[in-house]
Amino acid sequence: METVFVNLITLAEPPAEINIIELLKQATPVVKGVMGVLILMALIAGYVMVYKWLMLRRAQQQLDQFSEIFWKSKRLDEIYHASEHLLFSPTSQIFRAGYVELSKLKGGQGERETMHGQMGELENVDRALRRAHTAELVQLEGLISILATTGSAAPFIGLFGTVWGIMSAFLNIGKQGDASLVTVAPGIAEALIATAIGLIAAIPAVIAYNYFLNRLRVIEAHMENFSSDFLNIIKRHFFK
């Protein structure tokens, strides 16, 4: 009896090694489609992360350069000409919008003598600054929503693929009539890969979204402070 048992162990085939690539090939069409969507989302999110990092880095650098030029210069026209080379600085674009509006108002002196006329002209400059502020903020925030969407939707898409894969695995178990671990494990493993890919896509997107949001808040604070300072300078020197 002992000899027969030893022979059975010897003749028993070793369990097949689980290969992730093979599991992906054997996955159901729905699970494959879910994985394809998640991989596409991850690639798009990766592109957005690199693009926005470079964009915000360049914006911050030119913002600092323009701030130094603005406070060191004594003439607005000199600052305006210098800002032509700093087109990626949001504060330089706000300054250019305010300077253009101020130049238009300086050309007409009709209502400058009255307090009502001066307040109206000042409001025009303020509106120009606010419009430029909004335009720059919209541009800086562009594509950030893709990271938020990826971070929130990717885990649920992956979970849908996992649920579908597990359903298919249990259906196969019912057809084969075999509930052993060798039969159950591959189907569940291929289903769980969808959730793993969803998390791989979502986690970096959430981290990058929070990072960029913090950077944007800092830049926006600089923009608001500059608009206020520039408007105060205009009040002191042009609307006395």
Please report, for residues 34, 66, 77, 180, 235, the alpha-carbon distance to residue 74 in angstroms, rounded to integers and kept in the order given. 60, 14, 9, 83, 16
The 10s digit of each residue's pLDDT in 42-55 is 999 999 999 999 99
Q: At what angle do helices 144-176 and 29-72 cross, to 10 degrees?
A: 170
- Give the chain's residues under pLDDT 70: 1-20, 22-26, 106-120, 176-187, 238-240
Taking residue 62's Cβ as centre, other Cβ atoms within 10 Å add up to 19
The 10s digit of each residue's pLDDT in 99-132 is 988 888 766 554 455 544 555 677 888 899 999 9
The answer to whether the beta carbons of residues 38 and 157 sit under 8 Å apart is yes
Q: What is the pLDDT of residue 14?
A: 46
Please give the model's pTM, rounded to 2 decimal places: 0.78
Token pair 């030119």 is at which residue? 62
Paired tokens of 167? 């359903």
Q: Which amino acid is at 161?
A: G
Q: What is the pLDDT of residue 148?
A: 94
Q: Which class for 52: exposed (0-12), middle (13-18), buried (19 or more C-beta within 10 A)? A: buried
DSSP codes, 110-154: TTTTSHHHHHHHHHHHHHHHHHHHHHHHHHHHTTHHHHHHHHHHH
Percent of the chain residues topping a pLDDT of 70: 76
